[in-house]
């Protein structure tokens, strides 16, 4: 038996603990691991405004809604865009950029008639369930001003946007433009939130790596061939996500081609030429552009089968794809044995689209 003192369990435990602390101190165990795998989003100091990943090469200068400049923070770059020209040692010594959080901003766009009573209820549900989020109701005027302020680096896009006379096409473009420049959450006016705060939508393990969050519209329970697409009534983005810029540029290019095919300029486009608005600027366009840019951005080809009938949010490159039940619960069905894995409905879309008329949306007169 050892010294008497170790017959007392408390004293023995204390001794063992002190030895343990001493060992930790001796080997400085906390320095064995890099300290930058912190997932907790932290704001990093502003370092000015530059933006090079946009494909257009232009710098986008960001301004807040109230005229205050918003500084672009160093972005968490997906590995494919990371610069590798620096010597490896130097790169390792540099601190990795802290992943940027999803901006706590909610974006809406009002038509000239403002909020209907129904829309007030739906928008209130999202606003009240996310008290920490700032809420922005854009109007035609503020949206136009925003686009003209922030897209000067993309004159082709700007020209198409300014020439368009069909409200739904502009509204579709504006959502991607707002999210591209400012990030945050876009909601259509006819989307309601169902009780789960936005901050809980993104599993913690994906918060750092995801830069765009989309949800399947039709995914589960269809026993025939169909084309999947992401919903556009709710989209979450960090700032400067290239996929969104690609969507905007693709829309501008396809509207220009459509105008040419109809022998009019973009201002002459009307609803009878836009056979399928949804194809032109809506969910299908969004889905196609995001997917094609995403496929270009990853090293390994994406097997989309792996993303079908998902029961949990799943990353594809830097895009987090939410299951059908998340944003479109009523359009997705799951097998009885999967029922206990079906998660909550986050958003319900009430299909009150005011653009389904020959003018393509509310007009002033």
Ligand X SMILES: *[C@@H]1O[C@H](CO)[C@@H](O)[C@H](O)[C@H]1NC(C)=O
In b/e form, how buried is each residue of 318-356, taking b as 16+ CB within 10 angstroms? bbbbbbbbbbbbebbebeeeeeeebeebbbbbeeebbbe
Query: Site residues for ligand X, window 192-211 (CB under 6 A)?
Result: none
Minimum separation from the CB atom of position 86 to ligand X (A): 55
Minimum separation from the CB atom of position 125 to ligand X (A): 35
Minimum separation from the CB atom of position 269 to ligand X (A): 8
Q: At residue 9, what are phi and psi to the nearest 5 degrees?
A: -60, -40
DSSP for residue 220: T
Q: Which of 304, 322, 305 is nearest to 313 (CA)?
A: 322
* CA diameter of the chain: 100
Residue of 43, 358, 364, 365 that binds ligand X (CB under 6 A): 358
CB nearer to ligand X: pick between 272 and 303:
272
Minimum separation from the CB atom of position 265 to ligand X (A): 11
What's the N-to-C CA distance of the chain in angstroms? 97
Query: Site residues for ligand X, window 104-143 (CB under 6 A)?
Result: none
CB nearer to ligand X: pick between 70 and 258:
258
Query: Site residues for ligand X, window 261-290 (CB under 6 A)?
Result: 270-272
Minimum separation from the CB atom of position 271 to ligand X (A): 5
CB nearer to ligand X: pick between 62 and 271:
271
Q: Which of 233, 241, 238 is nearest to 297 (CA)?
A: 241
Q: At residue 105, what are phi and psi to the nearest 5 degrees?
A: -135, 135
Q: 62-66 — which CB contacts under 8 Å span 24+ positions?
A: 62/150, 62/181, 62/182, 62/239, 63/149, 63/150, 65/136, 65/142, 65/146
CB nearer to ligand X: pick between 22 and 268:
268
Minimum separation from the CB atom of position 283 to ligand X (A): 23
Q: Quick check: 365 binds ligand X (CB under 6 A)? A: no
CB nearer to ligand X: pick between 94 and 358:
358
CB nearer to ligand X: pick between 59 and 258:
258
Using Cβ positions, the residue closest to ligand X within the complex turns out to be 270
CB nearer to ligand X: pick between 35 and 272:
272
Do residues 341 and 312 touch, judged by C-beta distance below 8 A? yes
Question: What kind and span of H or E run contains 347?
Answer: strand 347-349
Minimum separation from the CB atom of position 158 to ligand X (A): 24
Interface contacts to ligand X, rule CB under 6 A:
270-272, 358
């Amino acid at each position: 038996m050892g010294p008497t003192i170790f017959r007392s369990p408390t004293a023995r435990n204390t001794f063992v603990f002190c030895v343990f602390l001493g060992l930790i101190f001796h080997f400085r165990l906390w320095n064995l691991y890099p300290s930058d795998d912190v997932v907790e989003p932290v704001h990093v100091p502003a370092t000015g405004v530059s933006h090079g990943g946009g494909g257009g090469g232009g710098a986008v200068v960001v301004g807040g809604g109230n005229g205050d400049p918003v500084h672009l923070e160093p972005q968490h770059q997906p590995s494919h865009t990371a610069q590798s020209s620096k010597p490896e040692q130097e790169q390792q010594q540099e601190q990795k950029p802290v992943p940027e959080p999803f901006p706590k901003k909610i974006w809406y766009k009002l038509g000239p008639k403002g909020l209907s009573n129904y829309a007030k209820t739906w928008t209130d549900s999202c606003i009240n369930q996310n008290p920490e989020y700032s809420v922005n109701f854009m109007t035609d005027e503020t949206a136009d001003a925003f686009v003209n302020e922030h897209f000067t680096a993309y004159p082709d896009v700007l020209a198409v946007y300014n020439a368009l006379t069909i409200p739904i096409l502009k509204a579709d473009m504006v959502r991607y433009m707002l999210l591209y420049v400012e990030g945050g959450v876009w909601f259509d006016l006819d989307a309601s939130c169902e009780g789960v705060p936005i901050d809980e939508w993104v599993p913690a393990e994906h918060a750092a790596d995801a830069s765009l969050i989309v949800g399947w519209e039709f995914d589960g329970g269809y026993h025939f061939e169909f084309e999947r697409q992401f919903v556009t009534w709710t989209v979450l983005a960090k700032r400067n996500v290239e996929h969104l810029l690609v969507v905007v540029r693709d829309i501008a290019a396809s509207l220009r081609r459509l105008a040419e095919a109809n022998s009019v300029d973009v201002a002459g486009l009307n609803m009878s030429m836009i056979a399928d608005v949804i194809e032109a600027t809506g969910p299908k366009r969004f889905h196609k552009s995001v997917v094609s840019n995403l496929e270009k951005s990853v090293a390994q080809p994406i097997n989309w089968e792996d993303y079908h009938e998902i029961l949990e949010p799943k990353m594809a490159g830097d895009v987090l794809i939410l299951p059908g039940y998340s944003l479109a619960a009523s359009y997705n069905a799951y097998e009885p044995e999967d029922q206990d894995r079906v998660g909550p409905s986050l958003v319900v879309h009430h299909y009150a689209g005011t653009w389904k008329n020959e003018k393509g949306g509310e007009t002033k007169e």
